[in-house]
Structure 1
Amino acid sequence: VDRAYPLKPVVHRKSCSTGEAGTDGYHNVYPRPPEPREFSSRNFGVRNQGNFSVVGTVLAAMQAEKAVANFDRTEWVQIRRLEAAGESLEEEIRRKQILLRGKLKKTEEELRRIQMQKEQAKENENRELQKIILPRSRVKVLGLWKLSGCTFLSFL
């Protein structure tokens, strides 16, 4: 819409009307609003032609401000909704990251505990094996060999 030439109200005449619109009392006719006083080339004489470029830029700036000010309300509402949705998604991501860090920490602790138990069980098994097979005070073990799954001891 060109702001220099605003739209005027349109009066629709009904098909049954024979006279002029608004004369029979049944039609609502809006009186023409007075012409808006805006800057245009009609309002300036020949002596103001040099200032027209300055006035044109001022007029363009004013129209740009009006366009920004008249930004569609539904678009602003949609932008606000999208921003709120983005913020809620970011918050949900942060919560899930915290939960995952906690789960990872618990899993690492459980793995360490299992490894420690496995090492302790192995050490206990070796001690029990040594107690059963060899009394320490009488026999000195030279070596322990494993051949095809069998364990051999050499004694002094």
Structure 2
Amino acid sequence: MEFTTERLEIRTFRKNDLPATFNIYKNADVCRYLLHEPWTSENMNEAFAKKLTNSTLTETGTLNLAVVHQGEVIGDLAVWYTGMKETVEIGYCFSDSHSGKGYATEAVKGLLEKLFHEFNLHRIQANLDARNVASQKLCERIGMRKEAHFLKDYWNKNEWTDSMVYGILHEEFYK
């Protein structure tokens, strides 16, 4: 899957995207609410190899897409089926050096449009760490609604954390 938005190219990852992707994921602040620790020079090749192989959305496989602005990878989008009919979950991560410019909103909204249109989905959801206010605001900006707030339901990085679920239905996206 590849597409463009007004300012961005969204495409599968390429081998030469490793340095820019490592610059995103080596940052502890960027990885604070993710399920993994920051990348290191020791594990970056293995972690990046997964992004290279995740190039197609299937019932059992994740799709990873690079968000590119002016030739530089500034973010990562992920999509996977939840197991519920015609429902996927999305994840996203962006370089903190490009925050505040609307790139995440543009990329994720473009992704929803592409997913609803090409895959005839019923529902798209995002599960996130409740402390991640920026992610909550992003979901709300693109029309997703908060559906749940679970208290200390997820053990991650040696602590119990709250999680939130945001969702949007096909018919809501196209209103």
In the superposition, the TM-score normalised over structure 1's length comes to: 0.17
Query: Which structure: larger Rg?
Result: 1
Structure that is richer in strand per residue? 2
In the superposition, the TM-score normalised over structure 2's length comes to: 0.15
